[in-house]
C-alpha cells in the first residue's frame, strides 16, 4: 500500500480557487516561497522522477500538492493511505484505490471532498515566536535510520533549536562516527552507558540547553513544521507542561505494518485537545491513568523545568529494560499529577517507520501490555499518594484493559479511526498483550533493582 500526502485548498469543489499558481498559499516551512513539489506546471527540464506523483495546479483543481510520504516512491495506481491537508495542515486520513490509468490527484481529491464534506476547516493558525528548543534523539546501533531522522530534523523551520543524539549503551562506534563526521557542528553527541530508553532520555535532559525539550525516535521523519508546532504552545500557555503530536506511517509495505495501522497505529486523531488536571475531562473516566490516549514517545515535548521537577523519566521503564516500555506514559501522568496541562496538537507531525515483520508485531504487542502495567507500578512506587485515585478507577480500568486487548474483527472502530479496519486483530496478539500486562510489574521490579542508587544525570549541576 502506498502512502500519500494530499494538500487541498478547499474541500468544496464548487468554490475551489480560480487563481493561478501565484494565488497558492505557501506550505509550512517554505519561508513564503512555494513548495518545490506543490503547484504550477511541471518544469519541462526537471527529472521525470522528481515530478512523478505530484499534482500540477490547474485552474479548475483545488489540489495544492499530491506527493508520496517522505522518501516514498512515486505515486501510481493501487491501494493508497492518504493524509489530507488543508493548506498545509493535517485534517484527516483515509484509504482508497487509484484505478489503473486514472489521475491520482483527481481520484483522491474527489474522495477527500466526499468523505470530509461538511467538516469545518481548522481554526486559523497563529504562532508567535516559539521558545528555544532542544531535540533529543535516543538511539542504539541504528546509524542508517538515525541519519534519515537527523536530516529531517535539520530541515525544521523552527528559528532556534539544537539537536542532541544520545547513544544508549553502544557496542560499536557507528553512531559516534556518523554524528562526528556527517553532522559535525550540527548535532551534539552524548553517550549513556545504562541501557534503556528512559535512562537515555534522562541523559538528554542533562545535556539539553533549551527551556523546551522535545523527544523523537531514530525511526521517524519529522515534518518541517513539527518542532514549531510542538513548541509554540509553551509560549502561549504558561501552564502547559507537555505537548504531544500526530504520528502517521511512513510506509505500509508489509502485512504487519498494515495490520497495526488498520487498528489505529499511533495516531490520536486530528482534533487539538488540552488535558487539564484542574478540569478532568468528562469523557475520560480513567483520567489521567489512560496515558496512552495523550500521545506517544516518538512525538512529545516538555517544559524542561517541569520535567526535571518531577524527576524526569523513571529509568526502570522503557524499551531496553525488563519493563519493556511505559516511560512516556509515566512522564505524561507525572506532569499532569504535578498540576500541569498537557496539549495534543495534530499540526506537529512525524512519519514513523513501523516494524515490518510478524515477530516484530508480536514483540510490540507484548511490550505494550508490559509497559502499561509497568508504568502504573512505577507511579505507585514513586508517588504512593496516587494509590487512592488509582484504586477508585480499578473496575473501569479492568473493563478498559479487556476492551483494549480484545479480539477485533475487521471493521471494528478503534482510537484514531484513520486506518482501513480491513484486517482482523489476531487473538494471538490479544493474548500476548494480556500476558505482557501480567508481566509488567515483575519487569519493573527487576529493572528498578538494576538502576537503584543511580543518580539523575542533572543532579548537582
Residue 25 confidence (pLDDT) above 60: no
Q: Which of 251, 201, 240, 245 is nearest to 225 (CA)?
A: 245
Q: What values do phi and psi take at 365, rounded to 5?
A: -60, -45
Of 46-55, 228-237, 269-278, 432-441, the poorest mean pLDDT is in 46-55
pTM score of the predicted model: 0.85
Q: pLDDT confidence of 395, banded at 50, 70, 90?
A: low
Confidence (pLDDT) at 290:
83
Percent of the chain with pLDDT over 90: 62
* Residues 138, 32: Cα–Cα separation, whole Å: 33
Residue 406 confidence (pLDDT) above 90: no
Whole-number Cα distances in Å, 167 to 185, 458, 459:
17, 17, 20
* 315 or 412, higher pLDDT: 315
Residue 450 confidence (pLDDT) above 70: yes
* Residues 12, 217: Cα–Cα separation, whole Å: 37
* 248 or 292, higher pLDDT: 248
Give per-residue pLDDT as tens, 169-224: 999 999 999 999 999 999 999 999 999 999 999 999 999 999 999 999 999 999 99
Give per-residue pLDDT as tens, 82-128: 999 988 899 999 999 999 999 999 999 999 998 888 777 777 666 67
Largest Cα–Cα separation, the chain = 69
Residue 138 confidence (pLDDT) above 90: yes
- The stretch 158-167 carries a mean pLDDT of 97
Residue 412 confidence (pLDDT) above 90: no
Confidence (pLDDT) at 260:
85
Measure CA 416 to chain center.
12
Residue 288 confidence (pLDDT) above 80: yes
Confidence (pLDDT) at 12:
61
Give per-residue pLDDT as tens, 230-266: 999 999 999 999 999 999 999 999 988 888 888 777 8
Of 38-47, 213-222, 404-413, the poorest mean pLDDT is in 38-47
Amino acid at each position: 500500500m502506498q502512502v500519500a500526502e494530499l494538500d487541498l485548498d478547499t474541500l468544496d469543489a464548487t468554490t475551489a480557487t480560480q487563481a493561478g499558481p501565484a494565488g497558492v498559499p505557501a506550505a509550512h516551512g517554505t519561508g513564503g516561497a512555494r513548495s518545490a513539489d506543490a503547484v504550477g506546471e511541471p518544469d519541462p527540464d526537471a527529472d521525470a522522477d522528481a515530478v512523478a506523483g505530484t499534482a500540477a495546479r490547474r485552474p479548475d483543481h483545488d489540489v495544492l500538492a499530491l506527493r508520496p510520504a517522505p522518501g516514498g516512491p512515486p505515486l501510481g495506481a493501487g491501494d493508497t493511505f492518504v493524509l489530507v491537508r488543508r493548506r498545509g495542515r493535517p485534517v484527516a486520513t483515509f484509504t482508497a484505490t487509484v484505478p489503473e490509468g486514472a489521475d491520482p490527484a483527481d481520484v483522491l481529491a474527489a474522495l477527500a471532498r466526499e468523505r470530509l464534506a461538511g467538516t469545518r476547516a481548522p481554526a486559523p493558525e497563529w504562532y508567535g515566536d516559539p521558545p528555544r528548543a532542544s531535540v533529543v534523539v535516543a538511539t542504539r546501533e541504528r546509524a542508517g535510520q538515525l541519519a534519515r531522522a537527523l536530516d529531517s530534523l535539520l530541515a525544521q523551520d523552527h528559528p532556534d533549536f539544537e539537536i542532541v543524539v544520545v547513544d544508549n549503551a553502544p557496542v560499536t562506534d557507528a553512531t559516534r562516527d556518523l554524528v562526528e563526521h556527517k553532522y559535525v557542528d550540527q548535532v551534539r553527541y552524548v553517550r549513556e552507558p545504562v541501557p534503556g530508553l528512559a535512562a537515555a532520555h534522562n541523559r538528554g535532559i542533562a545535556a539539553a540547553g533549551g527551556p523546551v525539550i522535545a523527544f523523537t525516535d531514530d525511526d521517524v521523519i519529522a515534518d518541517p513544521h513539527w518542532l514549531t508546532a510542538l513548541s509554540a504552545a509553551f509560549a502561549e500557555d504558561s501552564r502547559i507542561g507537555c505537548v504531544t503530536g500526530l504520528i502517521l506511517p511512513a510506509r505500509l509495505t508489509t502485512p504487519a505494518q498494515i495490520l497495526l495501522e488498520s487498528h489505529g497505529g499511533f495516531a490520536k486523531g486530528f482534533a487539538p485537545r488540552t488535558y487539564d488536571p484542574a478540569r478532568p475531562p468528562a469523557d475520560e473516566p480513567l483520567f489521567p491513568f489512560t496515558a496512552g490516549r495523550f500521545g506517544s514517545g516518538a512525538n512529545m515535548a516538555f517544559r524542561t523545568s517541569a520535567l526535571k521537577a518531577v524527576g524526569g523519566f523513571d529509568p526502570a521503564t522503557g524499551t531496553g529494560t525488563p519493563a519493556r516500555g511505559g516511560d512516556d506514559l509515566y512522564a505524561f501522568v507525572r506532569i499532569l499529577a504535578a498540576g500541569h496541562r498537557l496539549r495534543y496538537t495534530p499540526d506537529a507531525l512525524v512519519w514513523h517507520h513501523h516494524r515490518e515483520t510478524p515477530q516484530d508485531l508480536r514483540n510490540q504487542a507484548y511490550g505494550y501490555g508490559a509497559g502499561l502495567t509497568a508504568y502504573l507500578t512505577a507511579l505507585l512506587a514513586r508517588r504512593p499518594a496516587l494509590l487512592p485515585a488509582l484504586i477508585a478507577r480499578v473496575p473501569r480500568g479492568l473493563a478498559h484493559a479487556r476492551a483494549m486487548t480484545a479480539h477485533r474483527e475487521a471493521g471494528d472502530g478503534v482510537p484514531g479511526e484513520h486506518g482501513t479496519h480491513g484486517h482482523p486483530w489476531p487473538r494471538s496478539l490479544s493474548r500476548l498483550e494480556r500476558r505482557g500486562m501480567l508481566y509488567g510489574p515483575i519487569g519493573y521490579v527487576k529493572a528498578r533493582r538494576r538502576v537503584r542508587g543511580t543518580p539523575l544525570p542533572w543532579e548537582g549541576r
